[in-house]
Amino acid sequence: MLKKEVVIIGGGYGGLRAIEFLAKHKDINITLIDKNPYHYLQTEAYGYIAGRFDIHDIAIDLDKWCRGFKNRVNFVYEEVTSINYEKQVVEISEKQISYDYLVIATGAQTNFFSFIDGLRENSYGVKNLQRAYNFRKDFEDLIYKKLQNEKFNNDGDINLAIGGAGLSGVEVAAEMANVIEIYSKTIGERAKAIKIYLIDASDTILPGMSAYVISNTKKRLEKLGVKILTSAFINNLDKSYIYFKNGKKLHYHFMIFTGGIKASSLNNNLNNEKNRINQFIPDKELNINSSKNVFAIGDCVEIRDINGKILPPTAQIAEKSAEYVANTIRKRIDGIVNKPFHANVSGIFIALGGKYAVGEMFNFIKVKGYWAYLLKKAITHAYYLGLHLRINTGYKNRIKDTL
């Protein structure tokens, strides 16, 4: 039997979900390529940077995960620099990998807007593990120094600014505020000197979300002592101050920027139709480049709902687009035409520090507090468990291979 070669670029939420679906078919060979050796659980980044989760809670070894499919999925740890659609090859360092079907799932990166002078140089980010790790390290370092330093009370406030009050910004702000409350057990009253500012240019937090989610998130953030600055346009930053367009300024020690994304840098090298944040603009079956065998899923592509509204990039949509594309590839191999992709958001759960969350499902189930936290935890746990079952099989297979 001549097998079809499916190449997937990017082992994020979309890439892994596509593999889970495609690996069921014995007539398909799968190759996953990622520039990192791990799958990064970005949705849990808020807990990692606040020190509530450890590195093993948010990073999964891709090689072992792929081995969990018993030699059916090949992992290549390389950065893809270009794609030759005509020759049907993906280019990595000096090599080329051929495909019959290609799925681009390379996600997005923080958009450190170039029009905000000093933003990139002076900010941390959460969309990439390296930047999240740097923040955690530097913040812990500060806490440790303060722990040793009696003078902390007289040093003035330590301001942590979070730029962008979307989903990731509010989660980071709430978790940091919650952890700082816990720090009071370590550094006593000195913890009170750590202040959290959540800044957004929009006139509300969580722009685009429902009134229920916005008002309950706001209440929770205020209860945790987060200072919310809306309609606050950042003009520029230097090492010590954030300067706003209205002439005001804020002294800060740490800035985490969550205020925007743009598609991953691979998109820059490809000559496809793109939007203003460099996401591919696909056709109704998520094909790009007018090629029926090249697909894009997740954050690297613009996805619209049935009414034509652009959906915010989430792991949920990355996974739904992955399932759709995996099914479409199966159908194309079998010569069956698939229906267009109709994305819809089933719900949203926002972690708001400790055992508290706010959530909404199917537009009518609304929950907040401990119950919402339990539901969010159940969703995360199911995802994590699935990854670990694969990894455990991968370890066993690796041991067998080396015997």
Ligand X SMILES: Cc1cc2nc3c(=O)[nH]c(=O)nc-3n(C[C@H](O)[C@H](O)[C@H](O)COP(=O)(O)OP(=O)(O)OC[C@H]3O[C@@H](n4cnc5c(N)ncnc54)[C@H](O)[C@@H]3O)c2cc1C
Three-class DSSP category at 196: strand
The nearest distance, CB 244 to ligand X, in angstroms, is 24
Reported as type and span, the H/E element at residue 360 is strand 357-361
Residue closer to ligand X by CB (options 103, 143) is 103
- Choices 136-144, 309-317, 327-335, 359-367 (CB under 6 A): range interacting with ligand X: 309-317
126, amino acid identity: V
Residue among 9, 160, 209, 325 that touches ligand X (CB under 6 A): 9
Among 18, 19, 23, 33, binds ligand X (CB under 6 A): 33
Is 36 one of the binding residues for ligand X (CB under 6 A)? yes
Which H helix or E strand runs over 317? helix 315-333
Is residue 178 within the footprint of ligand X (CB under 6 A)?
A: no
Q: Give, as one character, the DSSP assignment of residue 231.
A: S
What single DSSP character describes residue 287? B
Phi and psi dihedrals of 277, rounded to 5?
Answer: -105, 25
Distances (CA, A) of 361 to 195, 204, 311, 330: 33, 22, 16, 30
Smallest distance from ligand X to CB 105, Å? 5
Whether 101 contacts 293, CB under 8 Å = yes
- Report the nearest approach of ligand X to the CB of residue 110 (Å): 8
Give residue 60's identity as a one-letter amino acid code: I
Choose, by CB under 6 A, the member of 31, 267, 316, 328 that binds ligand X: 316
How far apart, in whole angstroms, are the C-alpha atoms of residue 79 and residue 162? 30
Considering only residues 108-167, where is the footprint of ligand X by CB under 6 A? 126-127, 167
Length of the chain: 403
- Binds ligand X by CB under 6 A, chosen from 46, 152, 257, 356: 46
Q: Which of 63, 299, 302, 360 binds ligand X (CB under 6 A)?
A: 299
Residue given tokens 């996600």 in the structure block: 107
Residue written as token pair 């990692």: 48
Choice from 314, 327, 338, 393 touching ligand X (CB under 6 A): 314
Amino acid, res. 267:
N
Considering only residues 6, 19, 42, 352, which one is a binding residue for ligand X as defined by CB under 6 A?
Answer: 42
Q: How far is the CB of 360 from ligand X (least distance, A)?
A: 12
Q: Within 231-270, which residues bind ligand X (CB under 6 A)?
A: 264, 266
Nearest-Å Rg of the Cα atoms of the chain is 22
Helical (H) or strand (E) element with 6: strand 4-9
**107 interacts with ligand X by CB under 6 A:** yes
From the list 18, 34, 58, 63, which residue makes contact with ligand X (rule: CB under 6 A)? 34
Residues numbered 324 to 363 that lie near ligand X (CB under 6 A) are none
Nearer to ligand X, 45 or 191 (CB): 45
Task: Rule CB under 6 A: say whether 221 interacts with ligand X.
Answer: no
For 174, residues 6+ apart whose C-beta sits below 8 A from its C-beta are 46, 217, 220, 221, 224, 226, 351, 352, 353, 356
Question: 172 with 288: CB under 8 angstroms?
Answer: no
Tell me whether residue 231 or residue 265 sits nearer to ligand X (CB atom): 265
Question: Which single residue brings its beta carbon nearest to ligand X?
Answer: 12
Q: What residues make contact with ligand X under the rule CB under 6 A?
A: 9-15, 33-36, 42-43, 45-46, 79-80, 105-107, 126-127, 167-168, 171, 264, 266, 298-299, 313-316, 318
